Structure 1
Amino acid sequence: MTSVTDRPQGDAVFDPELRRLAAVVVLGAMMTILDSTIVNVAINTLGRDFHTSLSTIQWVVTGYTLALAMTIPLTGWAVQRFGGRTMWITSIVLFIAGSVLCGAAWSVTSLIVFRVVQAIGGGMLMPVGQTMLARKAGPERMGRVMSVVAVPAMLGPVLGPILGGLIVDDLSWRWMFYVNVPVCAVALLAAFTWLPRDTDRQAGVPLDGLGLVLLSPGLAALVYGLSQTGNGHGVTDPHVYGWAGAGVALIALFAVRAPRRGDRALVDVRLFRDRGFTASCVALFVYVGALFGVTFMAPLYLQTVRGDSPLHAGLLLAPMGIGAAISMSVAGRLTDRVGSRVLAVSGLVVVLAGLSMYTRLGAETSRLLLGAAMLLVGIGHGMMMPSLMAAAYLRLSRSAVPAATTASNIVVRVGSSFGVAALAVALQISIRHQVPGASGSLASVSRVRSPDLPSRLAHAFGTGFWWAFAIAVAAAVPILLLPGAGPRRSQ
Structure 2
Amino acid sequence: LKEFKMMKKLTKPKEKIDPTLLRISLIFAFGALAPIFDSTMVNIAIQTMTRDMHTTISVMQWTITGYTLMMGITVPLAGWATDRFNGKWIYSFSLVLFLIGSLFSAISTTITTLIIGRLIQGTGTGMLIPALSTLIMRAANGKNIGAVMSTVAIPTMIGPVLGPVLGAFIISNANWHMMFWVNVPLTLVGLLLIFFGVPTMPAINPKLKIDFLGIGLLAGFFAGMILGISNYSSSKSLFNQDDVLLEIVLGVLALLMYVLYAVIKPDKAIVPLNIFKYKNLNLTTILMMLTGITTNGPMMLLPLYFQGVRGQSVLSAGIIMGSQAIGMFFTRSQAGKLTDRIGPKWVVIVGLLITLLATMPFVWFDTSTAIWLLVSVLFIRGLGMGAMSVPLMTAAYIGMPKEKIGQATVITRILQSVGGAAGSAILSTIIVNVATSYPKKTPLLTVANSYNIGFAWSCGFTLLMFIPAWFLSVKKSKNIKIEIN
**Structure 1 unmatched runs, 5+:** 1-9, 437-449
Tell me, yes or no, if the aligned pair for 2:137 and 2:145 is still in contact at 8 Å: yes
Tell me the equivalent position of 1:440.
none
Tell me the equivalent position of 1:272.
276
Tell me, yes or no, if the aligned pair for 2:222 and 2:251 is still in contact at 8 Å: yes
* In 1: Cα distance, 2:192 partner to 2:234 partner: 40
Give deviations 1:431-485, integer Å, cap 9, x for gaps: 234216xxxxxxxxxxxxx44x433432322222111111001001111111113
Identical-pair percentage: 32
- 2:209 counterpart letter in structure 1: P
Tell me, yes or no, if the aligned pair for 2:234 and 2:433 is still in contact at 8 Å: no
CA shift, 1:89, in A, is 0.9
CA shift, 1:120, in A, is 1.4
* SS of 1:63 mapped into structure 2: helix
* In 2: Cα distance, 1:310 partner to 1:117 partner: 27
Distance 1:48 1:374, change over 3 A: closer
Q: Does 1:317 align with 2:321?
A: yes
Report how many aligned residue pairs link the two structures. Answer: 468
Tell me the equivalent position of 1:131.
134
| TM-score, normalised with respect to structure 1 | 0.89
Distance 1:154 1:406, change over 3 A: farther
Q: Does 1:18 align with 2:8?
A: no
* In 2: Cα distance, 1:268 partner to 1:281 partner: 15
Tell me the equivalent position of 2:294.
290
Q: 1:67 aligns with which of 61, 65, 70?
A: 70
* In 2: Cα distance, 1:402 partner to 1:219 partner: 18
Give deviations 1:300-333, integer Å, cap 9, x for gaps: 2222222223333333321111001000121101
CA shift, 1:192, in A, is 0.8
Q: Does 1:189 align with 2:179?
A: no
* In 2: Cα distance, 1:355 partner to 1:43 partner: 25
Q: 2:370 aligns with which of 359, 366, 373?
A: 366
For the aligned residues, what is the CA RMSD? Answer: 2.3
Q: 1:89 aligns with which of 86, 89, 92?
A: 92
Tell me the equivalent position of 1:119.
122
Q: 1:281 aligns with which of 260, 270, 285?
A: 285
Distance 1:37 1:247, change over 3 A: farther
**1:146-165 to 2 correspondences below 5 Å:** 146-157=149-160, 159-165=162-168
Tell me the equivalent position of 1:377.
381
Give deviations 1:70-104, integer Å, cap 9, x for gaps: 11111110011112111001111111122122212
* In 1: Cα distance, 2:48 partner to 2:453 partner: 32
Distance 1:135 1:482, change over 3 A: same
- 2:454 counterpart letter in structure 1: G
| TM-score, normalised with respect to structure 2 | 0.90
Q: 2:265 aligns with which of 256, 261, 265?
A: 261
Q: Does 1:470 align with 2:460?
A: yes
Tell me the equivalent position of 2:435.
431
CA shift, 1:235, in A, is 4.3
CA shift, 1:252, in A, is 2.6
* In 2: Cα distance, 1:326 partner to 1:232 partner: 42
Tell me, yes or no, if the aligned pair for 1:85 and 1:198 is still in contact at 8 Å: yes
Q: Does 152-161 or 356-365 show the bigger shift?
A: 152-161
- 2:381 counterpart letter in structure 1: V
* In 2: Cα distance, 1:51 partner to 1:22 partner: 42
Q: 2:338 aligns with which of 320, 324, 334?
A: 334
Q: Does 1:479 align with 2:482?
A: no
Tell me the equivalent position of 2:6.
none
Tell me the equivalent position of 1:348.
352
**Structure 2 unmatched runs, 5+:** 1-12
Q: Does 222-231 or 99-108 show the bigger shift?
A: 222-231
Q: 2:112 aligns with which of 106, 109, 113?
A: 109
* In 1: Cα distance, 2:313 partner to 2:232 partner: 23
- 2:318 counterpart letter in structure 1: G
Distance 1:152 1:201, change over 3 A: same
Tell me, yes or no, if the aligned pair for 2:87 and 2:201 is still in contact at 8 Å: yes
* In 2: Cα distance, 1:247 partner to 1:72 partner: 16
Distance 1:145 1:268, change over 3 A: farther
Q: Does 132-141 or 344-353 show the bigger shift?
A: 132-141
Tell me, yes or no, if the aligned pair for 2:141 and 2:482 is still in contact at 8 Å: no
Tell me, yes or no, if the aligned pair for 1:298 and 1:316 is still in contact at 8 Å: no
- 1:463 counterpart letter in structure 2: I
Tell me the equivalent position of 1:36.
39
Q: 2:413 aligns with which of 409, 412, 436?
A: 409
* SS of 2:229 mapped into structure 1: helix
CA shift, 1:54, in A, is 4.0
Tell me, yes or no, if the aligned pair for 1:69 and 1:219 is still in contact at 8 Å: yes
Distance 1:309 1:102, change over 3 A: same
* In 2: Cα distance, 1:37 partner to 1:143 partner: 25
